[in-house]
Structure 1
Amino acid sequence: MNEKEAKQLAEKVIALMGGKQNITKRWHCVTRLRFNVVDDKKVELSKLIQLEGVLGARFQNGHYQVIIGENVGKVFKEVTKMIGNDAKSTENHSKKKQNPISHIFDVISGVFAPVIAVIIGGGMIKGFLPLFVMMGAISEGSDVYIIFSLIADCIFYFLPFLLAASAAKKFNTNEFLAMALAAAMLYPTILEAAKEGMTDPLNFFGIGVPIVNYSSSVVPILLGVWILSYVHKWIEKIIPNLLKIILVPTLTLLIMVPIQLIVLGPIGSHLGSGLAAFAIWAFTFSPLLAGLVLGALRPIIVMTGMHFSFFPIMIENFKKYNYDVIDPVHFMSTMSQTGAAFGVFLKVKNKKMKPVALSATISGLLGVTEPALYGCLVRYKRPLIAAIISGGFWGAFVAHFGGKCYAFAMTSVLTMPVYFGPAFKYMVIGTIGAFITSAVLTYMIGFKEESSEPSTDGQDDSVIIKPAVEREKTVIAAPMNGEIVSLKDVPDATFSSGVMGNGVAIKPIDKQIYSPVNGKIKAVFSTKHAIGIESEDGVEILIHIGINTVNLEGNFFDVHVNEGDTVKKADLLATVEFNRIEQFGYATITPILITNTNEYQDVEVIIDTGTIATGEQILKIIK
């Protein structure tokens, strides 16, 4: 997707979200745009899913998700440019009724989505370091190793800073005060005391301040910024405008830092450790059951957008145990979904679906499963069943044999080094097994290639997926014999810029011009140099004979039709003495333009070079 396409899609998405004034928050994850809005009634999900470039759309956990796939970053960039600072305050949105569970998922998604890329980057470097050492590329303890370790570890060591800035935006509070709160948690006095094993709390006016190592923590800063958003707002209300710049930050810090260090930080630390301990307990108590359930349900979890809820637990696992047991199971599900897409590629008969399935397979191998999930699995349903069966089986397999991940990274074949440890061989077996099992199951059980229409109510929690039907199209034939010329090469900016519509041009080699479609003559210019036609299905075509030939005032043109005439494809429209036109110094290049281009999804040029014969297809109009 190029910049122009991303911009066009962003414009349409914003419009169907009710316009930029209806959007209160926007963020994105690896594959989807996410929005909070003021008025749900203005959002048109049923139209969103029809957009070219959109894989699906849904309302879940209090926000809207528009699934784009690998181009989500490009589209989000354009969305941000267009919305700018015009988005409304989130106060109206925050008053909406939302159940507590949905609210928690919404917060986790909104906080982690902006920072997930840098977390993955650090995890990738951390995961590859042992491999570099094993290969002899660098030596452990060397200066190079230290620098690489610094790059990888700094992201996680100072993670509360990143989460503070992101959470401040989510909770609509001052991000610098939020980062100051994180700075208090990571102050060297507290961290060094924690590393030395000190258990005696600091004394703050007779109140004990527990010694806690907050580096790499998640839950404490989320709780802190949440409470900060209320405290800061309350202080701003009671302080006179003249004194705000001095007293608001001062009082906010004096109130929040002690509360954070005495109450919220320790509570959050225990809660995070408890979540991590529960995850480890579940995989210890019954690894087969834990791996089976999590591996099987992973596609459903991704479809609901709740996969972000695992990130705090996984990060706490890395902090407390130096490994994670959830990610290996996720990896088996990723490979199962990818294998199912490959099975679709092998089985599907529709030639246009084969490249879609192959692209989804490649994307899945690189760790992004949404193109496979929405483009193939949900579309045909049975491949989804195959992925669930395979993901559950191989998830149980790697959990049973103690599969572990030693750094936070994408579940991708490129990140296999992060699983290097005692159970690495089982991860390799599971990776290959999950892909093959799912592909074979998909191929064996088959699927119906017809796709049902999506739900259009737009406001429930079901996933809305783009249907696998071809869009209607109109084909435009060449009106003359000649040489194809790209529109951008036409020596007239009015045509080459596309301002009059997309299309193509032909340099004629004989005199006759024929109708490119069945339709009606809408215009015959008095100077005879241009003819307008409307096809039977509404495509408006302009045949502009030569460049600047309006100056010839009709000389050398013999037009055989009149405005209002009905014509059939290949009916003779005009006879033109092109050789005489050239003698008078005018170019004979003839643009064929679709003047109502903006009414269609696309205008494709079928033949863009070489010679063309009358009646050959030159343009395809995608509706």
Structure 2
Amino acid sequence: MTNKEIAKEILKNVGGNGNISNATHCATRLRLNLTDEKKMSIDGLEKIDGVIKAQMSNGQLQVVLGGKVTGVYAEFSEMLETGKQGKTDSAQEKKKFGLNRLIETISGIFSPVLPILVGCGMVQSLTAIISTFGLVQPDSGFFLVLKMTGDLIFYFMPFFLAVSAAQKFKTSIYLSVALAGAYMYPTIMNGAAEAASTGVRFLDFLGLPILYVNYKSTVIPIIISVWILSYVHRFIDRHVPEMFKIILTSMLTLLIMVPFELILIGPVGSYLGMYIAQGVKILYTSFGFIGAFLLGAFRPVLVMFGMHYAITPIMVQELSETGKTIIIPALLAGNLAQSGAAFATFILIKDKKEKSGAFSAALSALFGITEPAMYGYNLKYKKPFYAALFAAGTAAAYMSVFHAYSIAAALPGILSLPTYNADSFIYIITGVLIAVIGAFVLTLILGIDNNSKLNLFKRK
């Protein structure tokens, strides 16, 4: 089926565009918020050629498409634009707040940003390779532009999140970007950079202090700011007379929000993010390899329920605060173990067509896209999935013992290996081998059914 045909069938099985309140996508999934969940058909979606899996998670329909997702989403978006746009159901918007709602919100904000986040991370992998092998001079224009390209989203993170948060909270994108601009304005950024030398740590605003904080790469302040903006802007717009809206609405909104975010939201959100990053470090320090084992082993489970995006802001905050993240090595172990298990499944499967698909899925997982391998083969046969969980946990625990970390938010796969380090890089390589070979061998031992496991080890 073509991408257009897949998109058309998906739209048909979710109840039409009138049943869609919000549509976005991540690296492998089409993510839809529906007005009426009773109008969709999970069975119908999973019968579509090209759809790996469909599931409801955290109040959101997730259609797993693997590498097809970008093309299908483009066609899907055109169908929504040319047809009747789905309107948000008021009852849907007033869901009771809880963990599911929080995860769905984080996912909705980070999903649109993920492609550029991964793209910049992969460019950082390339710069790491060039730097390690001394391929060009570090002060050359070529290297500096490459480094700048890799740093783009991490330096200007508030702007990117302002756009996606505005879409999620259904408020003005331009006012949201203006709030990000206030955080990144030279007066604030230069004040933060010079605070140590000048001793001046805040700006006086009508007797209230505006702290000089470096908001580069921060996540929490802009998300909270845009969330509050969505209420403030609606309130002002509702009460300003129609003839004065164009003059007063934006002006009053900015006059309220900019001082409020700089005085209260920004500093509180920044410190909250810092404490979250420190908390992750303490968790790893206190529980050591046990914490790493659990994260590595259960990473695929988080992916199954679409909850893995809850880790993304913590990871980004870690990079912002410390310049490295100790979380990603566990994610790397989780992805590569799924690949190893799928390669073993490829060997054990006898059907030629399914065999070919298993090899492609295993190769995809090796580069960081695990859903085809996980849903298409490992979970289908169960034992490969369990083997992958154990191997991933073991590999993550091993790497944590040797203080493994990554300096970029690149897609966890073999192409991003140059961004990883530990007490010695050999421990990263060993951890990768534990994940891939461990899952591979364990799957061969366990087999994919009661008869397959002995075939490779017995000869008549």
- TM-score (ref. length: structure 1): 0.70
- 1:237-277 Cα offsets, whole Å, 9 max, x none, are 00111111111110010011111111111111111111111
Answering whether residue 288 of structure 2 is matched by residue 291 of structure 1, we say: no
Aligned to 1:139: 137
* Residue 91 of structure 1: how far off its partner (Å): 5.1
Secondary structure at 1:209's aligned position in 2?
Answer: strand
CA distance in 2, matches of 1:103, 1:264: 21
Q: Measured at CA, do residues 20 and 393 of structure 1 come closer, stay the same or move farther in structure 2, by a change above 3 Å?
A: same
Answering whether residue 83 of structure 2 is matched by residue 82 of structure 1, we say: no
Aligned to 1:246: 247
CA distance in 1, matches of 2:100, 2:424: 36
CA distance in 2, matches of 1:260, 1:372: 44
* Residue 98 of structure 1: how far off its partner (Å): 4.0
Secondary structure at 1:213's aligned position in 2?
Answer: coil
- 1:249-306 Cα offsets, whole Å, 9 max, x none, are 1001001111111111111111111111111111111221111100111110000101
* Residue 99 of structure 1: how far off its partner (Å): 4.1
- 1:39-62 Cα offsets, whole Å, 9 max, x none, are 111111121111111111111111
Q: Measured at CA, do residues 193 and 446 of structure 1 come closer, stay the same or move farther in structure 2, by a change above 3 Å?
A: same
CA distance in 2, matches of 1:342, 1:449: 19
Aligned to 1:347: 348
Aligned to 1:215: 216
- 1:405-446 Cα offsets, whole Å, 9 max, x none, are 011100111111111454321111111221111011111111
CA distance in 2, matches of 1:190, 1:94: 38
CA distance in 1, matches of 2:400, 2:200: 35
Aligned to 2:164: 166
Correspondence for 2:122 among 104, 124, 132: 124
CA distance in 1, matches of 2:239, 2:108: 30
Aligned to 1:608: none
* Residue 232 of structure 1: how far off its partner (Å): 0.5
- 1:165-212 Cα offsets, whole Å, 9 max, x none, are 111011100000000000000001111111123553211111111111
Correspondence for 2:39 among 30, 38, 42: 42
Answering whether residue 29 of structure 2 is matched by residue 32 of structure 1, we say: yes
Secondary structure at 2:67's aligned position in 1?
Answer: coil
Aligned to 1:309: 310
* Residue 87 of structure 1: how far off its partner (Å): 2.3
Aligned to 2:455: none
User: What amino acid sits opposite 1:379 in the alignment?
Assistant: K
Q: Measured at CA, do residues 12 and 266 of structure 1 come closer, stay the same or move farther in structure 2, by a change above 3 Å?
A: same
User: What amino acid sits opposite 1:18 in the alignment?
Assistant: G
CA distance in 2, matches of 1:51, 1:147: 43
CA distance in 2, matches of 1:397, 1:284: 14
CA distance in 2, matches of 1:18, 1:175: 28
CA distance in 2, matches of 1:441, 1:130: 33
CA distance in 2, matches of 1:168, 1:21: 22
* Residue 96 of structure 1: how far off its partner (Å): 4.5
Q: How does 1:395-406 map to 2 (within 5 A)?
A: 395-406=396-407
Q: Measured at CA, do residues 291 and 421 of structure 1 come closer, stay the same or move farther in structure 2, by a change above 3 Å?
A: closer
> Contact conserved, 1:36 with 1:93, CA < 8 A, in 2?
no
Q: Measured at CA, do residues 375 and 406 of structure 1 come closer, stay the same or move farther in structure 2, by a change above 3 Å?
A: same
- 1:331-366 Cα offsets, whole Å, 9 max, x none, are 011111100001100111222210111011110111
Aligned to 1:496: none
CA distance in 1, matches of 2:442, 2:354: 19
> Contact conserved, 1:292 with 1:395, CA < 8 A, in 2?
yes
Aligned to 1:67: 64
Secondary structure at 1:64's aligned position in 2?
Answer: strand
* Residue 138 of structure 1: how far off its partner (Å): 1.3
Secondary structure at 2:54's aligned position in 1?
Answer: strand
Aligned to 2:188: 190
CA distance in 2, matches of 1:98, 1:13: 28
- 1:59-104 Cα offsets, whole Å, 9 max, x none, are 1111110111111111111100100173233352543534421111
Secondary structure at 2:405's aligned position in 1?
Answer: coil
Aligned to 1:56: 53
Q: Measured at CA, do residues 194 and 271 of structure 1 come closer, stay the same or move farther in structure 2, by a change above 3 Å?
A: same
Structure 2: gaps of 5 or more residues: 452-460
CA distance in 2, matches of 1:211, 1:136: 38
CA distance in 2, matches of 1:134, 1:292: 29
Aligned to 2:322: 321
Aligned to 1:8: 5
> Contact conserved, 1:343 with 1:440, CA < 8 A, in 2?
yes
User: What amino acid sits opposite 2:235 in the alignment?
Assistant: W
* Residue 119 of structure 1: how far off its partner (Å): 1.3
User: What amino acid sits opposite 2:129 in the alignment?
Assistant: L
User: What amino acid sits opposite 1:380 in the alignment?
Assistant: Y
Q: Measured at CA, do residues 96 and 206 of structure 1 come closer, stay the same or move farther in structure 2, by a change above 3 Å?
A: closer
CA distance in 1, matches of 2:87, 2:185: 33
Correspondence for 1:175 among 173, 176, 196: 173
Secondary structure at 2:214's aligned position in 1?
Answer: coil
> Contact conserved, 1:348 with 1:449, CA < 8 A, in 2?
no
- 1:483-526 Cα offsets, whole Å, 9 max, x none, are xxxxxxxxxxxxxxxxxxxxxxxxxxxxxxxxxxxxxxxxxxxx
Structure 1: gaps of 5 or more residues: 451-623
Secondary structure at 2:23's aligned position in 1?
Answer: strand
Q: Measured at CA, do residues 449 and 305 of structure 1 come closer, stay the same or move farther in structure 2, by a change above 3 Å?
A: farther
> Contact conserved, 1:115 with 1:162, CA < 8 A, in 2?
yes
User: What amino acid sits opposite 2:10 in the alignment?
Assistant: V
Answering whether residue 108 of structure 2 is matched by residue 107 of structure 1, we say: no
User: What amino acid sits opposite 1:33 in the alignment?
Assistant: L
Q: How does 1:553-592 map to 2 (within 5 A)?
A: none
Secondary structure at 2:368's aligned position in 1?
Answer: coil
Aligned to 1:18: 15
Give the strand-richer structure, 1 or 2: 1
- Percent of counterpart pairs with the same letter? 38
User: What amino acid sits opposite 1:156 in the alignment?
Assistant: F
Query: Which stretches of structure 1, 4 residues or longer, exceed 4 Å deviation after superposition?
Result: none
User: What amino acid sits opposite 1:444 in the alignment?
Assistant: I
* Residue 130 of structure 1: how far off its partner (Å): 3.1
User: What amino acid sits opposite 1:383 in the alignment?
Assistant: P
User: What amino acid sits opposite 1:376 in the alignment?
Assistant: Y
Secondary structure at 2:33's aligned position in 1?
Answer: strand
User: What amino acid sits opposite 1:62 in the alignment?
Assistant: G
Aligned to 2:274: 273
Moved more, 215-224 or 422-431: 422-431
Q: Measured at CA, do residues 355 and 134 of structure 1 come closer, stay the same or move farther in structure 2, by a change above 3 Å?
A: same
CA distance in 2, matches of 1:28, 1:313: 20
User: What amino acid sits opposite 2:434 in the alignment?
Assistant: G
Answering whether residue 203 of structure 2 is matched by residue 202 of structure 1, we say: yes
* Higher RCO (C-alpha 8 Å, min separation 6): 2
Q: How many residue pairs were aligned?
A: 447
